[in-house]
Amino acid sequence: MAVSRVFLTKWFQRSARKEEISTATLLDAVERAENGQIAADLGGSVIKQRISRPGQGKSGGYRTIIVFRKGDRAVFMYVFPKNERDNITTDELVAFREAAKYILALSDHQIAALTKKGDLVEVKRT
């Protein structure tokens, strides 16, 4: 099975940099999802994955919202520290599901254009 291409939204990239979340941590979250280890399936190709805080475990870490289609693509949309909020709101979930429809319908050409523009950043595996 093909492995998902991994992208970060511009907003997510800034937040991850600020919180010092490593690329390896993000790729691990996608790998777990690829293997069926999903913290929460929120429906509409939106999942929630837990990731660890640098130097700590997942229990004191973050929750990420990812648009995810196994073997296709994973787009990190949102991150929040578990100690600052319990979950996303219903309105946010609706918005993420709508975004998922749009993101998963994008062609490779459209993704390349968004990447060139800086709206999406592709995470490369090493």
Residues 6+ apart with CB under 8 A from 99: 67, 77
Question: Would you call 20 helix, strand, or coil by DSSP?
Answer: coil
Judge contact between 64 and 28, C-beta under 8 A.
no
Mean pLDDT (the chain, rounded): 91
Query: For 5-25, how does the pLDDT look when each residue is reduced to its tens digit (9 = 90+)?
Result: 999 999 999 999 998 899 999
Number of residues that make up the chain:
126
Give the DSSP H or E segment for 76: strand 73-81
Q: Could you tell me the residue ranges of all domains in the chain?
A: 5-123
Residue 1 has pLDDT above 60, yes or no: no
CB atoms within 10 A of CB 50: 16
pTM of the model: 0.92
- In this predicted structure, what is the pLDDT of residue 9? 96
Q: Which two tokens stand for residue 14?
A: 């800034």
Q: How far apart are CA 7 and CA 77, in angstroms?
A: 9
